[in-house]
Amino acid sequence: MKKSPFTTLCYIEKEDAYLMMHRIKKVQDINKDKWVGVGGHFEGSESPEECLLREVKEETGLTLTRFRFRGLITFVLHEETGQELVEYMCLYTADGFEGTIKDCEEGILEWIKKEEVDKLPIWEGDRIFFRLLKEETPFFSLKLEYLGSSLIRAVLNGREL
């Protein structure tokens, strides 16, 4: 079955830190060696929230009890081959959860202090939405266009950055 172009991404918060995944385990991984939140592709007729809850449970072992839909990220990757990958990512933060963190098949999970995130190898566009999260920006739409791993265009709420 073809992967859905719709995904979720969640940053779980605890004591001024985010639960992040260092993507070092999968061989074919667009996020290889980067630090990201947890989430993944919609399956079947899932809503964004159903996908969020399932993906967080699968990847972390945690059950979310409180979360917020923070923004919609349009992620466009122009490849050197001329191919284009487009994903629509529903961005969430969560500060309520139950359970115990388990090992993840896709990477290493670790609590990262919010002020340390900028020092990690993350997607350049992620720095923009981390700033928006920090500023408590109300719901936003952010389009991020990449050529390979280089950010070539960012558009926030319809305006070029």
Q: Are 121 and 51 in contact (CB under 8 A)?
A: no
Residue 58 region, left (φ>0) first, then alpha (ψ -120 to 50), else beta? alpha
Question: Rounded to an integer, what distance in angstroms lies between the CA atom of residue 72 and that of residue 90?
Answer: 5
Domains and CATH numbers, the chain: 6-160 (3.90.79.10)
Q: How much is the pLDDT for 83? A: 85
Neighbour tally for 6: CB within 10 Å: 14
Question: Rounded to an integer, what distance in angstroms lies between the CA atom of residue 156 and that of residue 161?
Answer: 7
Tokens of 35: 């630090």
Q: How much is the pLDDT for 17? A: 98
Please tell me the pTM assigned to this model.
Answer: 0.93
Q: How much is the pLDDT for 27? A: 65
Tokens of 108: 């290493």
Q: How much is the pLDDT for 103? A: 92
Question: Rounded to an integer, what distance in angstroms lies between the CA atom of residue 129 and that of residue 148?
Answer: 19
Q: How much is the pLDDT for 79? A: 82
Strand 159-160 with 17-22, pairing: unpaired
Residue 131 region, left (φ>0) first, then alpha (ψ -120 to 50), else beta? alpha
Hunting for tokens 């992040």 — which residue is that? 20
Q: Walk along the chain (161 residues) and give the pLDDT tens digit of each residue.
A: 678 899 999 999 999 999 999 987 766 667 778 899 999 999 999 999 999 999 999 999 999 999 999 999 999 999 877 889 999 999 999 999 999 999 988 899 999 999 999 999 999 999 999 999 999 999 999 999 999 889 999 999 999 99
Q: How much is the pLDDT for 24? A: 77
Question: Rounded to an integer, what distance in angstroms lies between the CA atom of residue 73 and that of residue 44?
Answer: 21
Q: How much is the pLDDT for 82? A: 80
